[in-house]
Amino acid sequence: MDHRQQRLLADARRLVRGLHELAGEEAPAGILPAILGELGLADRYFPLDSPIGPLLVAYNEHGVAAVGRGEDTAAFTEGYARRFGRPLRPTPAPPAALGHAIARRLAGERAEIRFDLRGLSEFERATLLKAIEIPRGEVRPYAWLAREIGRPGAVRAVGSALGRNPVPLLIPCHRIVRSDGLIGDYVFGNAAKRAALAAEGLVPDEIETRARAGVRFHASDTTRIYCFPTCRNARRITAPHLITFASDRAAQAAGYRPCKVCRPAIAS
């Protein structure tokens, strides 16, 4: 923090003390973060260990705003200032509630994390919020995501939106794969994407072998329902009952219905 910021911070704290005295017990708890936000002093970052190595995580009063890979704090804060126009200050650890939520999310448990997605377009936000719905240990194609948000023609735009995900890993854009089934690109590169998927129990090589063999869907000849191969329902199909399909048209022509959980196609 430079001298100007230190002075601003000291002024802000004095102001908050004064307001507390004026308002007595009624002073709103969020007043310091609000003032710090006004002064551009609210955004902080902390280091985090993850399945794809060390990360830097930035947050403010609106939520988690950015995730960077590596330990180069200068590059991270410069990139943040360039993209969001706000300075970042280091903090050794996040507030306890946020720290717990992130730890739980990375361990595959359900945990609510607030995100600061203010800098994104409505389309980019819709894309990222849909990606959050994909369960850990499962993948879906770009085309699926485009269709789910009501923009079936916007497959390429979905790819771009995921490529601009400011909070990778926490918003799991690594769970979206190419529509031909290959793992594809990632904000942090293909190798990191494979590592993130492997950490969730998936075998990226297996996913790609299946894709290269032309297998897009797994189905059960007892339920006559077809799924994306990583869907939890598909993974329960035992080998003697496993049927594979190269397209949803082929599955439907054979009289199979799409799974209601992974929604591999619009029910017809």
Instruction: Summarize as ranges the residues that interact with Zn ion (CB under 5 A).
Output: 227, 231, 233, 259, 261-262
> Which CB atom, from 154 or from 251, has the smaller least distance to Zn ion?
251
Least separation in angstroms between residue 148's CB and Zn ion is: 14
- Which residue, among 44, 45, 47, 37, has the nearest Cα to 8 in the 3D structure? 37
CA–CA distances in Å: residue 234 to residues 64, 145, 178? 34, 19, 19
Could you give the dihedral angle defined by the CA atoms of residues 72, 80, 83 and 10, in that order, rounded to the nearest 10 degrees? Answer: -150
> Which residues belong to the active site?
173
> Which CB atom, from 7 or from 236, has the smaller least distance to Zn ion?
236
> Which CB atom, from 74 or from 239, has the smaller least distance to Zn ion?
239
E-strand ranges in 49-123 read 55-60, 63-69, 89-90
> Which CB atom, from 128 or from 227, has the smaller least distance to Zn ion?
227
Least separation in angstroms between residue 235's CB and Zn ion is: 9
Least separation in angstroms between residue 139's CB and Zn ion is: 12
- The residue type at 137: G
Cα 257 to chain centroid distance, Å, stands at: 30
Residues 6 or more apart from 137 whose CB is under 8 A from it?
108, 200, 201, 202, 230
Least separation in angstroms between residue 237's CB and Zn ion is: 10
